A = this chain, B = another copy of it.
């Protein structure tokens, strides 16, 4: 065993790390599964990943195909459960066509396919006898799904749909797995029948031959090229696809909700359209969970390295100060640590929400759907934006060394950032939230009850008038005080915006004109949700020495940091006074001191293996410098002492012979 350079830090922790691991994982069972599968992946050389950035695109992609096949083989050999298989894919940590197959193609068929369709396609998909992708976005349309241009025209003569790309901008563009691998796709297209348009629907379309993998007649398909980063998302074959009058049988339109009859008539089934919301909540809870995964990973690296890194402050030749001891470092790092935990808690709550929604849908109770839609849209936006920014902040917190690929942070950023764009552009989503909030406010008088995460608006009178009771810094630790401040802020901003909107003759115009303010209202509401879910979690019993206390500190850090960052909101609405703001700041500083001795243990609780982190700066043992040094020599540039090109290009300069050189 090597020395643990962070042993000292670990011994300082004031709580039971093993119990915190269980809180983080969600349950003892989840922890055990994760722990076992993480070790399995980490110990298998086939899953090695630290050489990715040294591979060209083709090799990189081939290597991903190899891993995906190997993972599938192991899943079958070890007879892993669905839960275990999904953990395995998570720890393999490489975007691949399988993500879309399992994460989008299968759920789309489950959610939108009829019983027969499910019976036909799901067994094939489950055995991976077909590989599917999810092809919605086009070159010209992403956010505006209703604007998609691909057409699916019903031909009553042959009982088929003709799938066609009428314009260049109608080319499908972005779908993962489409570029090189998928045999099938759920393709979204504008339904045309009897000369009439019927909006956008999903169709199962075979793309490639199951014999020789060549594109079927009428289909042009390929990869859209390199994306952000060197490894990152380039292991994925995001694709481009054009249809030239491609025919598919009528029964390959996903017909759970709308159906096209043999005659070409569009009829609605008795299944409510709202069913799609179930899938949406499912996808969004996964995204929020992924946000806490990605952010915690970055925070784990930055925290460990900040404890290893020493700079300045040496007294009489002693050791220098660990940079984690600088308040500026804490002020940047600890709110991110707190956010990682906060998003974890919210993700867990969304599991509950999903179950709740599913049950209600079964009982034909759609009353909570608009609220759930707004809430999950907002949480997707909030958590992914904060995570993307947070990863980059963690990289900066590591100084120069954070810029090295081997820190793990550049690639983590590059692979993560599209989460702010896919499954709904974050700004477009916040505008939807705002629209819902404005509607909620406008109905407050009408007796319609604000439900779920907007329930607080039912107390609008109180919240418009309440005064914050904080008199000393510790008052800010009281959940009721924090809740009231956040609720009052969100309410007052909503009401103010609604008032400004009402000054416009045309509501829609007003909405467009004030949309920047509306986005801020949405953010205030979403931050309140996170704070309130964190606080609710702390009302439960949480076992383990000191565990709950740590979570309380993190919850307060999360809330008070937001309060500080958005102070303008709180002050301009009169929710708190400048003096109370200053007390909140004092309290935040003192919380940092309480988090400090526990910081390394709090990131240990994520239970990440060194394989998964793939960061020299984030190594569990803190043995950073020798490993950085070793790693440098592996770069291909170091294969030779004198670099390729020296004799042609540098020597002639040095020897002043450039004029004659051929370049």
Contacts and interface: CB of A to CB of B under 8 A. Distances in A.
Contact of A169 (B139, B625, B644): B625
A218 interface: no
Of A139, A169, A574, A653, the most chain B CB neighbours within 10 A belong to: A653
Nearest to A59: B644
Contact of A142 (B56, B174, B233, B311): B311
A123 interface: no
A214 B515 contact: no
Of A405, A425, A564, A649, the most chain B CB neighbours within 10 A belong to: A649
Contacts of A326: 512, 515
Q: How many A residues touch the partner, as a band?
A: 35 or more
Given A147-B312, A229-B410, A639 B58 contact: yes
Interface string A236-265: 010010000000000000000000000000
Given A181-B643, A328-B516, A626-B168, A237 B637 contact: yes
A465 to B, nearest CB: 16
A213 B400 contact: no
A56 B636 contact: yes
Contact of A228 (B57, B73, B405, B638): B405
Nearest to A331: B516
A180 interface: yes
Contacts of A652: 69
B224 A404 contact: yes
Contacts of A433: none
A628 B139 contact: yes
A54 B57 contact: yes
A439 interface: no
A431 interface: yes
Contacts of A653: 69, 72, 128, 131
Interface string A182-220: 010000000000000000000000000010111100000
A251 to B, nearest CB: 22
Interface stretch (A413-421, A450-458, A546-554): A413-421
Nearest to A314: B147
A399 B418 contact: no
A328 B625 contact: no
A219 to B, nearest CB: 11
B61 A629 contact: no
A637 B57 contact: yes
Contact of A406 (B54, B225, B229, B589): B225
B650 A69 contact: yes
A26 to B, nearest CB: 31
A497 to B, nearest CB: 11
Nearest to A565: B568
A567 B572 contact: yes
Contact of A222 (B512, B573, B633): B633
A230 interface: yes
A631 B240 CA distance: 11
Nearest to A385: B396
Contact of A589 (B332, B405, B410, B516): B516
A64 to B, nearest CB: 8
A627 B81 CA distance: 46
Contacts of A230: 226, 229-230, 234
A12 B636 CA distance: 52
A57 B635 CA distance: 8
Contacts of A54: 56-57, 226
A314 B410 CA distance: 39
A233 B230 CA distance: 12
B564 A656 contact: no
B181 A53 contact: no
A469 interface: no
Of A139, A215, A240, A632, the most chain B CB neighbours within 10 A belong to: A632
Interface in A267-317: 311-312, 314
Interface in A406-434: 406, 410, 414, 417-418, 420-422, 425-427, 431
A551 B136 CA distance: 42
A539 interface: no
Given A314-B147, A653-B72, A56 B56 contact: yes
Contacts of A569: 567
A251 B596 CA distance: 49
A120 to B, nearest CB: 17
Contact of A240 (B395, B426, B585, B632): B632
Nearest to A181: B650
A444 interface: no
Given A400-B142, A427-B328, A571-B571, A213 B651 contact: yes
Contact of A635 (B226, B233, B420, B643): B226
A129 B169 CA distance: 54
Given A637-B58, A649-B69, A658-B72, A403 B417 contact: yes
A76 interface: yes
A519 interface: yes
22 contacts: A54-B56, A57-B635, A61-B637, A62-B644, A62-B645, A69-B648, A127-B656, A142-B311, A183-B654, A213-B650, A214-B641, A225-B631, A226-B635, A229-B229, A237-B637, A326-B512, A328-B431, A396-B420, A400-B418, A402-B421, A571-B572, A571-B578
